[in-house]
Structure 1
Amino acid sequence: MKDISNQQQSVDLLQQLGLKEYEARCMVALARLPKGTAKEISEISEVPRTRVYDAIRVLETKGLVEIQHSNPQQFRTVPIKEAAETLRQEYESRTETLAEAMAAIEPAESNGGDEGITHEVWALSGTTAITNRTQQLIDAAGREIVLIIGRDEVVTDKLLDQLQQALDTGLDVLVGTQTEDIREQIAEALPDAEVFVSGLEWLDSSPLEVDDDTTISRLLLIDKNTILVSSVHETDTGGIETEKAVFGRGFDNGIVVIARRLMATGLPPRHDPDTTVED
Structure 2
Amino acid sequence: MTDDENAAVDAFEGLGLTSYEAKVFIALHRLGAGTARDVADVTDVPRSQVYSVAESLEEHGLLEVQQSNPIRYRPVSVDEARETLRDRFEREQDRAFEYVDTVKDEPGGEETQEDIWTVRGRDRIDDRIVDILSQAEERIVFGTRLPELITDSIERTLAKRAAAGVNVAVVSRVDGVRNRFEDVEGVSVDTPPAHRADEQRSGRIVVCDDDAILLSVLGTERSETAIWSSGSLFASVLIQLIEASDEVPVETDTHGR
Among candidates 44, 65, 68, match of residue 69 of structure 1: 65
**Counterparts of 1:239 and 1:4, CA distance in 2:** 32
TM-score by length of 1: 0.55
Residue 262 of structure 1 corresponds to: 247
Q: Deviations over 1:248-279 (max 9, x none)?
A: 333156314157x5357xxxxxxx9446999x
**Counterparts of 2:5 and 2:149, CA distance in 1:** 25
**Counterparts of 1:15 and 1:133, CA distance in 2:** 32
Amino acid corresponding to residue 224 of structure 1 in structure 2: D
Q: Indicate if the aligned counterparts of 2:188 and 2:252 stay in contact, CA closer than 8 A.
A: no
**Counterparts of 2:185 and 2:89, CA distance in 1:** 37
Among candidates 136, 144, 158, match of residue 141 of structure 1: 136
Tell me, yes or no, if structure 1 residue 246 matches structure 2 residue 227.
yes
**Counterparts of 2:10 and 2:107, CA distance in 1:** 35
Tell me, yes or no, if structure 1 residue 122 matches structure 2 residue 107.
no
**Counterparts of 2:147 and 2:32, CA distance in 1:** 46
Residue 98 of structure 2 corresponds to: 97
Give the secondary structure class of the aligned counterpart of 2:108: coil
**1:254–1:239 CA distance, 2 compared to 1 (3 A):** closer
Q: What 5-or-longer segments of structure 1 have no aligned partner?
A: 115-119, 206-214, 265-271
Q: Indicate if the aligned counterparts of 1:25 and 1:47 stay in contact, CA closer than 8 A.
A: yes
Amino acid corresponding to residue 62 of structure 2 in structure 1: E
**Counterparts of 1:88 and 1:167, CA distance in 2:** 43
1:177-192 to structure 2, matched below 5 A, reads 191-192=184-185
Higher mean displacement: 221-230 or 248-257: 248-257
**1:83–1:55 CA distance, 2 compared to 1 (3 A):** same
**Counterparts of 1:74 and 1:99, CA distance in 2:** 38
Instruction: Give the alignment's Cα RMSD to 1 decimal.
Output: 5.3
**Counterparts of 1:77 and 1:47, CA distance in 2:** 22
Amino acid corresponding to residue 145 of structure 1 in structure 2: I
**Counterparts of 1:258 and 1:204, CA distance in 2:** 23
Question: Following TM superposition, by how much is the alpha carbon of 1:224 offset from its aligned partner in structure 2, in angstroms?
Answer: 3.3
Q: Deviations over 1:73-111 (max 9, x none)?
A: 11146538746753662354144223323225333355x
Amino acid corresponding to residue 101 of structure 1 in structure 2: T
Q: How many residues align?
A: 239
Higher mean displacement: 79-88 or 248-257: 79-88
**1:232–1:31 CA distance, 2 compared to 1 (3 A):** farther
Among candidates 198, 209, 230, match of residue 223 of structure 1: 209
Q: Indicate if the aligned counterparts of 2:140 and 2:209 stay in contact, CA closer than 8 A.
A: yes
1:141-160 to structure 2, matched below 5 A, reads 141-148=136-143, 152=148, 155=151
Higher mean displacement: 170-179 or 101-110: 170-179
Q: What 5-or-longer segments of structure 2 have no aligned partner?
A: none
Q: Indicate if the aligned counterparts of 1:148 and 1:176 stay in contact, CA closer than 8 A.
A: yes
TM-score by length of 2: 0.58
**Counterparts of 1:276 and 1:195, CA distance in 2:** 5
Residue 87 of structure 2 corresponds to: 86
Give the secondary structure class of the aligned counterpart of 2:217: strand
Amino acid corresponding to residue 245 of structure 1 in structure 2: A
- The structure having more radius of gyration, on CA atoms, is 2
